[in-house]
């Protein structure tokens, strides 16, 4: 295992052309909230953290509508700029649906078989190795924790339930027991209780979604697309995210249920929701407590104040320009 790529998707909500197209297609049916698109000006710290903590990456596939940060050095040999039109069929463009953008990333030209997927709010927060994402045989590392789906307002439970409908077509509790020590593992600590609680049911009730960067093999995407092309194409037709969508976690669920993963500590990464009080996430940024962190956008009372607090924390941790900046 010596070749692993990163894929990151990003949107510039200040791009007038992108905004004009979004207004053109906007309806009341999809999720068009500003929190889906607004930029916190933290992207440069993603690149700085990669240089510092994962310099071994082969290529960074930077996926956008077509816009680029003015500071990004696209001549860097590790950066491959990918427009949506480079891999998404024209009939589905333009799209403002992150699920459409992500379901097809296996079609990105020249993407390596082994890659790690990032949203632009996923950060490498301390030093990592290839072995943290894939073992020597190229099997992804993950935490195979089962958990019932819990309905919550403004969550993606509808979408993960859609994923589960497909999973339950092909898998059952029997498949969990085939790899029981991957699903019940000391590395998960108390999270094992969630898995145990689901085992009385023959159908799968859900997965514990850590919502951190995911190690994938392209062959998993190819396999699921072959099985479920008709269903997945329904998502591609939605210009904005809807409750009827499927998302990229479907491919993760297949990797888990096929047993093609190696257990990793459930504390390897940490998910945070942005709020008006971000002491915990700021402390994590400064200390590097978790190897991976996610800083998920949420409604806050004072966007500019919160944004400055996060920028200041990242600037303290990563003050120097990196090779990916002009």
> How confident is the model at residue 36, as a pLDDT?
53
Q: Is residue 130 part of a domain?
A: yes
The two three-digit tokens of residue 196, written as one number = 């145990």
Q: Is residue 41 part of a domain?
A: yes
Judged against a pLDDT cut of 70, whether residue 37 lies above it is answered with no
Give the tens place of pLDDT for each residue, 1-33. Answer: 779 999 999 999 888 899 899 888 876 565 555
Q: Which residue has the higher pLDDT, 325 or 16?
A: 325
Peptide bond into 131 cis (omega under 30): no
SS3 124: strand
Q: Is residue 288 part of a domain?
A: yes
Q: Is residue 108 part of a domain?
A: yes
Contact criterion met (CB below 8 Å) for 313 and 286 = yes
Mean pLDDT of the chain: 94
The count of other CB atoms within 10 Å of the CB of residue 119 is 18
> Average of pLDDT values for 186-201?
97
Give the tens place of pLDDT for each residue, 118-163. Answer: 999 999 999 999 999 999 999 999 999 999 987 777 678 999 999 9
**Torsion angles phi and psi, residue 292, rounded to 5:** -125, 140
pLDDT > 70 in the chain, percent? 96
Distance CA(27)–CA(155), nearest Å, equals: 20
> How confident is the model at residue 27, as a pLDDT?
67
> Average of pLDDT values for 169-187?
98
Scanning the structure block, which residue is given the tokens 């990196």? 322
Judged against a pLDDT cut of 90, whether residue 64 lies above it is answered with yes
Q: Is residue 162 part of a domain?
A: no
Which positions ≥6 away from 186 have C-beta within 8 Å? none
Give the tens place of pLDDT for each residue, 261-317. Answer: 999 999 999 999 999 999 999 999 999 999 999 999 888 888 899 999 999 999 999
pTM for the full predicted model: 0.95
> How confident is the model at residue 25, as a pLDDT?
86
How many domains does the chain fold into? 1
Q: Is residue 104 part of a domain?
A: yes
SS3 295: strand
> Average of pLDDT values for 91-117?
97
Kind and range of the H or E run holding 271: strand 269-273
Which positions ≥6 away from 262 have C-beta within 8 Å? 135, 139, 140, 141, 142, 182
Domain limits at 84?
A: 5-137+211-243+268-317
Contact criterion met (CB below 8 Å) for 22 and 292 = no
> Average of pLDDT values for 230-245?
95
Scanning the structure block, which residue is given the tokens 């092309």? 229
Q: Is residue 125 part of a domain?
A: yes
Contact criterion met (CB below 8 Å) for 40 and 57 = no
> Average of pLDDT values for 78-86?
98
The CATH number of residue 85's host domain is 3.90.550
Contact criterion met (CB below 8 Å) for 196 and 145 = no
Scanning the structure block, which residue is given the tokens 């789906």? 149
Q: Is residue 161 part of a domain?
A: no
> How confident is the model at residue 282, as a pLDDT?
97
> How confident is the model at residue 150, as a pLDDT?
79
């Amino acid at each position: 295992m010596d070749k692993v790529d990163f894929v990151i998707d990003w949107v510039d909500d200040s791009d007038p052309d992108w905004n004009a197209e979004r207004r053109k297609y906007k309806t009341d049916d999809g999720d068009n909230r500003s929190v889906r698109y607004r930029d916190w000006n933290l992207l440069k710290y993603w690149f700085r953290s990669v240089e510092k903590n994962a310099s071994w990456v082969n290529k960074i596939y930077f996926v956008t509508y077509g816009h680029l940060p003015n500071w990004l050095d696209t001549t860097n040999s590790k950066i491959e700029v990918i427009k949506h039109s480079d891999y998404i069929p024209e009939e589905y463009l333009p799209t403002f649906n992150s699920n459409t953008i992500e379901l097809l990333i296996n079609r990105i030209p020249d993407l390596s078989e082994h890659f790690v997927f990032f949203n632009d709010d996923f950060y490498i927060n301390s030093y990592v190795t290839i072995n943290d994402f894939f073992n020597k045989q190229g099997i992804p590392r993950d935490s195979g924790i089962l958990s019932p789906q819990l309905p919550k307002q403004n969550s993606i439970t509808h979408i993960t339930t859609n994923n589960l409908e497909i999973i339950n077509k092909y898998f059952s509790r029997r498949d969990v027991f085939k790899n029981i020590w991957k699903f019940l593992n000391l590395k998960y600590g108390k999270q094992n209780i969630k898995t145990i609680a689901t085992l009385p049911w023959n159908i799968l009730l859900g997965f514990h979604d850590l919502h951190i960067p995911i190690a994938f093999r392209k062959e998993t995407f190819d396999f699921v697309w072959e099985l479920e092309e008709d269903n997945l194409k329904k998502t591609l037709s939605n210009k904005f995210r809807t409750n009827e969508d499927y998302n990229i976690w479907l491919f993760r669920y297949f990797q888990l249920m096929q047993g093609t993963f190696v257990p990793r500590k459930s504390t390897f990464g940490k998910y945070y929701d942005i709020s008006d009080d971000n002491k915990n996430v700021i402390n994590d940024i400064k200390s590097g407590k978790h190897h991976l962190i996610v800083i998920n956008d949420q409604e806050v009372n004072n966007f500019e104040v919160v944004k400055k607090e996060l920028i200041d924390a990242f600037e303290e941790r990563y003050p120097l320009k990196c090779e990916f900046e002009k």
